[in-house]
């Protein structure tokens, strides 16, 4: 009733090919952006910004990065944590060498280092596929974790082996360090995530995205219609690692404030991979939904127990959360193997024809 395409005529090719062809979708997106950019920083509590929104956006960005590789190009990767770490350590080194440069510039630049590392570890992808590629990227993960532990140059010979984020300003505002206000940090994260999401949206809806998807669906057929496999796959690795690297730099600089090498372990890789699978392979929206489910659900459940007056020990909640989240993931995968993004599409389809389903 409120959501239908009747009466919305497309009069140009551009309108026909738009990412959001329906007026309702465009309005919805505008409302979400307005809430994200204006309402949340103005009215959100510190807790909402620090614990809910900033980590959610960072995870969503990392999930988008991995989704380009796994969802769009069909190359399974377990090295996400390592690539995120490269971004974080690169940003740390860059800002110690050139402290006067705007930190936002370094966060965006640090992704380039991770893209380079991604290119190197992406080389085998031409020859090996599927699980075998996953094992090769696993090697990348282990190698990078090892490097973060064992190369003192990376953490400036810090005695505790951790990287500690120095206070930096951008455009006159403190962005990193303890004196940065949560709203400033949130807006920086949101700005970067929105920018990179837009970039990815344009990539995947254009020629490059189609090349990736062609390779994903059948690489021999893609080769036959003139797509060169190696550059296409390597480009996917580079773009994916770039985005993961930026997400890693954001994670340490705008969320944790300091990080031990353990942060970028295989656990992080799996977490991001689960977000992509639950959210929906090959969907940008799915990356956000997946990050939301995996990261926010446990937090919400921790808050929900006291809110409804249950007096249980925090450790019990932790155990129960573990079980419920696990069960939910299985349930989601059984009910909708294509992820939350597909669920959303189905819902939209139903709404379109409601109240006269056929």
Partner 1 sequence: MVRHAFAAGAFALALGAGMLAGPAPATAQEGIYVPLFTYRTGPFSGSGIHIANGMRDYLEMLNARDGGIGGVKLLIEECETGYDTKKGVECYEAVKGKKPVMVNPWSTGITLPLIPKAAVDKIPVLSMAYGLSASADGNRFPWIFNPPNTYWDGASMIIKYIAEQEGGLDKLKGKKIGYIYLDAGFGKEPIPLLEQLAKDYGFELKMYPVAATEMANQSSQWLGVRRDRPNYMIMYGWGVLNPTAIKEAVKINFPMKNFISIWWPSEDDARGAGDGAKGFKTLNWHAANANFPAIQDIVKHVVEKGQSKADKASIGQVLYNRGVYNSMLIAEGIANAQKITGKKQVTGEDVRRGLETMNLSAARLKELGFEGFAEPIALTCADHNGHKASFVQEFDGEKYVPVTKPITPLTEKVAPLQEAAAREYVEKNTGWPKRTEPCDKNS
Q: Could you give the C-alpha distances from 357 to 350, 352, 353, in angstroms and in order?
A: 7, 9, 5
243 burial type by CB count under 10 A (0-12 exposed, 13-18 middle, 19+ buried):
buried
By the rule CB under 8 A, 337 interacts with partner 1: no
Cα separation of 203 and 191, whole Å? 18
Three-state secondary-structure class, residue 170: strand
CB nearer to partner 1: give 212 or 264: 264
Which residue stretch of 3-11, 26-34, 47-55, 234-242 sits at the interface with partner 1 (rule: CB under 8 A)?
A: 47-55
Residues 285-324 that bind partner 1 (CB under 8 A): 292, 296-297, 299-301, 303-304, 306-307, 313-315, 317-319, 322
DSSP string, 171-216: TTEE-SSTTS-HHHHHHHHHHHHHHHHHHHHHHHHSHHHHHHHHHH
By the rule CB under 8 A, 50 interacts with partner 1: yes
CB nearer to partner 1: give 20 or 47: 47
* DSSP class of 258: E
Of the candidates 18, 22, 119, 164, which one interacts with partner 1 according to CB under 8 A?
164
Of the candidates 19, 30, 35, 47, which one interacts with partner 1 according to CB under 8 A?
47
CB nearer to partner 1: give 18 or 139: 139
CB nearer to partner 1: give 217 or 318: 318
Q: Could you give the C-alpha distances from 18 to 38, 202, 223, in angstroms and in order?
A: 26, 11, 28
Binding mask of the shown chain, residues 83 to 112, with x at each position contacting partner 1 by CB under 8 A: -------------x--x-------------
Which residue stretch of 1-9, 10-18, 45-53, 220-228 sits at the interface with partner 1 (rule: CB under 8 A)?
A: 45-53
Name the β-bridge partners of 163: 259
Of the candidates 101, 112, 227, 343, which one interacts with partner 1 according to CB under 8 A?
343
Q: How far is the CB of 270 from partner 1 (least distance, A)?
A: 12
Residues 116-135 that bind partner 1 (CB under 8 A): none
Residue length of the chain: 358
Question: Would you say 113 and 86 are in contact if contact means Cβ atoms under 8 Å apart?
Answer: yes
By the rule CB under 8 A, 335 interacts with partner 1: yes
CA-closest candidate to residue 186, choices 291, 322, 37, 84: 37
Binding mask of the shown chain, residues 251 to 290, with x at each position contacting partner 1 by CB under 8 A: ----xxxxxxxxx-xx------------------------
Q: How far is the CB of 45 from partner 1 (least distance, A)?
A: 5
**Rg for the chain (alpha carbons), in Å?**
21
Instruction: Give the tokens for residue 87.
Output: 């971004």
Which residue stretch of 8-16, 63-71, 112-120, 342-350 sits at the interface with partner 1 (rule: CB under 8 A)?
A: 342-350
Q: Could you give the C-alpha distances from 269 to 85, 162, 306, 326, 347, in angstroms and in order?
A: 11, 20, 31, 17, 30
E strand or H helix that includes residue 229? helix 229-250
Task: Give the residue carrying structure tokens 């390597």.
Answer: 234
Residues of this chain that interact with partner 1 (CB under 8 A) are 44-48, 50-52, 55, 96, 99, 149, 156, 158-162, 164, 166-167, 177-179, 255-263, 265-266, 292, 296-297, 299-301, 303-304, 306-307, 313-315, 317-319, 322, 335-336, 343, 346-347, 350
């Amino acid at each position: 009733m409120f959501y239908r395409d009747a009466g919305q005529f497309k009069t140009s090719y551009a309108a026909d090919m738009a990412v959001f062809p329906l007026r309702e979708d465009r309005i919805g997106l505008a409302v979400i952006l307005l809430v994200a950019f204006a309402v949340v920083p103005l009215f959100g509590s510190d807790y909402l910004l620090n614990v809910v929104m900033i980590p959610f956006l960072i995870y969503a960005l990392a999930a988008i990065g991995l989704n380009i590789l796994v969802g769009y190009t069909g190359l399974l990767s377990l090295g996400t944590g390592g690539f995120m770490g490269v971004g974080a350590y690169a940003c740390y080194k860059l800002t110690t060498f050139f402290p006067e440069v705007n930190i936002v510039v370094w966060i965006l630049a640090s992704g380039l280092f991770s893209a380079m590392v991604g290119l190197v570890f992406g080389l085998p992808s031409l020859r090996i596929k599927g699980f075998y590629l996953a094992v090769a990227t696993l090697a990348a993960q282990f190698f990078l974790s090892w490097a973060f532990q064992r190369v003192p140059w990376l953490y400036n010979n810090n005695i505790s082996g951790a990287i500690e984020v120095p206070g930096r300003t951008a455009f006159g505002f403190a962005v990193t360090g303890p004196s940065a206000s949560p709203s400033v940090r949130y807006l920086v994260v949101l700005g970067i995530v929105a920018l990179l999401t837009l970039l990815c949206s344009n990539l995947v809806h254009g020629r490059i995205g189609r090349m990736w998807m062609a390779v994903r669906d059948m690489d021999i057929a893609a080769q036959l219609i003139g797509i060169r496999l190696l550059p296409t796959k390597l480009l996917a690795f580079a773009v994916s690692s770039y985005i993961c690297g930026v997400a890693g730099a954001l994670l340490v600089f705008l969320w944790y404030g300091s990080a031990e090498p353990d942060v970028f372990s295989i656990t992080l890789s799996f977490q991001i991979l689960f977000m992509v699978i639950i959210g929906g392979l090959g969907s940008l929206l799915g990356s956000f939904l997946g990050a939301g489910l995996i990261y926010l659900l446990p937090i919400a459940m921790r808050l929900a127990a006291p809110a409804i007056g249950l007096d249980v020990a925090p450790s019990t909640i932790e155990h129960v959360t573990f079980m419920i989240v696990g069960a939910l993931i299985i349930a989601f995968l059984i009910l909708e193997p294509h992820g939350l993004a597909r669920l959303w599409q189905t819902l939209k389809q139903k709404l379109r024809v409601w109240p006269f389903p056929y």
